[in-house]
């Protein structure tokens, strides 16, 4: 059985966040979306659930929702086919109200390239490309 990954992000504005994710390449699945949730599909195995604070709170009980604009809560990494696809993903995010950051980790681009991409609420995705030849050693 193939594993499916569902990432749950609390967002302050469902419609604005849905539009942002559509502009960076996700598709909305209306069957699992309503006025409190948008199910955003990257592919058949990777989904981001955009949850209103009200809906997100129902999953975490009394715990406080992190302010991801000032606090790192998680880094969600996923692969893209090449470094240019990573750069384009970051560019689309920046052009649509998000933020894209390349942190110099000392790894040459021909080995691996990644970005931190923040959505409208500061939730962080890390698109990354890794040279497949490096995995064969």
The count of other CB atoms within 10 Å of the CB of residue 2 is: 5
Q: Is the pLDDT at 90 greater than 80, yes or no? A: yes
Residue with tokens 């698109």, as numbered in its chain: 127
Q: pTM for the whole thing?
A: 0.90
Q: Is the pLDDT at 135 greater than 70, yes or no? A: no
* Residues 9-54: tens digit of each pLDDT: 999 999 999 999 999 999 999 999 999 999 999 999 999 999 999 9
Instruction: Tell me the mean pLDDT in the region 100-121.
Output: 92
Q: Is the pLDDT at 105 greater than 60, yes or no? A: yes
Number of domains in the chain: 1
Strands (E), the chain: 5-11, 27-29, 37-43, 46-52, 76-79, 99-101, 112-114, 116-118, 124-130
Range of the domain at 26: 5-136
* Residue 103: CATH number of its domain: 3.10.180.10
> What whole-number distance in Å separates Cα of residue 101 and Cα of residue 114?
9
Residue 137's pLDDT is: 54
Average pLDDT value for the chain: 94
């Amino acid at each position: 059985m193939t594993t499916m990954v569902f990432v749950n992000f609390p967002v302050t504005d469902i419609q604005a966040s849905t539009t942002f994710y559509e502009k960076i390449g996700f598709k909305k699945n209306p069957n699992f979306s309503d006025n409190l949730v948008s199910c955003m599909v990257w592919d058949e195995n990777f989904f981001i659930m955009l949850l209103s604070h009200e809906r997100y709170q129902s999953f975490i009980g009394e715990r406080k929702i992190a302010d991801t604009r000032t606090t790192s809560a998680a880094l969600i990494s996923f692969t893209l086919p090449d470094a240019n696809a990573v750069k384009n993903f970051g560019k689309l995010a920046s052009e649509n109200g998000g933020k894209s950051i390349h942190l110099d980790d000392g790894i040459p681009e021909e080995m691996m390239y990644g970005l931190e991409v923040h959505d409208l609420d500061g939730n962080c995705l890390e698109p990354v490309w890794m040279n497949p030849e490096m995995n064969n050693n």
